[in-house]
Amino acid sequence: MRMRWQALFADLELQLDAAESRGRLDDVPDLTRAERAAVDLGARLRAHTGELSVTVHGGECRRGVLQDVGPQWVLLADGPREHLVPLDAIAVVAGLGDVAAPPAGVVGSRLRLGHALRAVARDRSVVRVLTTAGTVVGRVDAVGTEHLDVALVRPDDDRPTGARCAVAWSALLVLSRG
């Protein structure tokens, strides 16, 4: 009689284990969807290595090797050219993998768009600034809290024109140099 009870308890244990396993397997798709819903584009970009294609609002496309990603921007290298693209300006990314990186560290999370634009201003190189209103060619003179000042140059020889314009960050699609 004792053997029948042990067999019964063993059978019940197996049934319980099987039910728990089925329950966990049923939860996997929901957990996967919930985890995927918490992943932002920046995390996927930080995990990516290699080339990709970024299309900004308005349809302009830039291809290049991913160089760096900040909390508000991505930097692509296309040979000698570099393209700084605000994350808010991105409409489509092609060539991006499924992997996501953990959150950026303390320093990385502080390198906002203004920091990247100030680095360009210190460089004093001629840039092409694609905006929602057209393209501006010049040198970044100053960077404010939500705009940048560009000293315009002649596109054919990069000589200063003496004119300046302010570009709102909200209108900035791509800043290219090189």
pLDDT at 129: 98
CB of 86 closer than 8 Å to CB of 113: yes
pLDDT at 15: 76
- Give the Cβ contact number of residue 169 at 10 Å: 19
In words, the CATH class of domain 41-177 is: mainly beta
Exposed e or buried b per residue across 58-92, where buried means at least 16 C-beta atoms within 10 angstroms of its C-beta: eeeebebebebbbbbbbbbeeeeebbbbbbebbee
Averages of pLDDT over each 10 residues, the chain, 178 residues: 65 74 66 65 93 97 96 96 98 92 75 95 96 97 97 92 97 97
Look-up: residue for tokens 């993998």? 97
pLDDT at 31: 59
Note the pLDDT tens digit of each residue in 19-47.
777 666 666 666 556 566 667 899 999 99
Note the pLDDT tens digit of each residue in 61-75.
999 999 999 999 999
